[in-house]
Amino acid sequence: MKAGCVRFSNDEAILALVSIVRVVNPRMLESGPDGFTVNLAPLEKKTQLSSDEQLLLKLYAALSGESRGGEYEVELLAAETQRLVETLARLERMQEWPPDVLDLCRGMRQRLGGQPG
């Protein structure tokens, strides 16, 4: 798996965030005025975070910052990149998705070093 700085489009960053939230705690994903919000309160109460929770916070921080030309940059370790490939694959299997979402998800997995489908 690749490690280093990864660039995500806005849609890719949201999809990556949703994939890891669904693994960590799906109840953290709440309906909001712009579609959904992520409630970080359950993580704020913890004294030690799992690697998945740390990855969630890393992706959340990137999305909360300013985009550069419509892209978000995230520094990922090799293990985090692998985990993201796994959570994206899992997200694909969780429900029926529109073809454009599946294409986006598979493209991300392939770009990150995983198998596209």
Domain assignment of residue 29, yes or no: yes
The rounded Cα 88 to chain-centroid distance in angstroms is 8
Total-model pTM: 0.88
Q: For 36-42, what is the mean pLDDT?
A: 92
Angle at 116 between CA 18 and CA 77, to 5 degrees: 60
**How far apart, in whole angstroms, are the C-alpha atoms of residue 81 and residue 70?**
21
Given its phi and psi angles, is residue 70 left (phi above 0), alpha (psi -120 to 50 degrees) or beta?
left
**Distances, alpha carbon 75 to alpha carbons 1, 28, 42, 86, in Å:** 13, 23, 24, 18
pLDDT for the residue numbered 43: 94
**How far apart, in whole angstroms, are the C-alpha atoms of residue 43 and residue 81?**
21
Domain assignment of residue 20, yes or no: yes
Number of domains in the chain: 1
Domain assignment of residue 51, yes or no: yes
Domain assignment of residue 34, yes or no: yes
- Containing domain of residue 29, as a range? 4-112
Domain assignment of residue 117, yes or no: no
User: Could you report the per-residue pLDDT of 68-117, keeping only the tens digit for each?
Assistant: 888 999 999 999 999 999 999 999 998 899 999 999 999 999 999 865 55
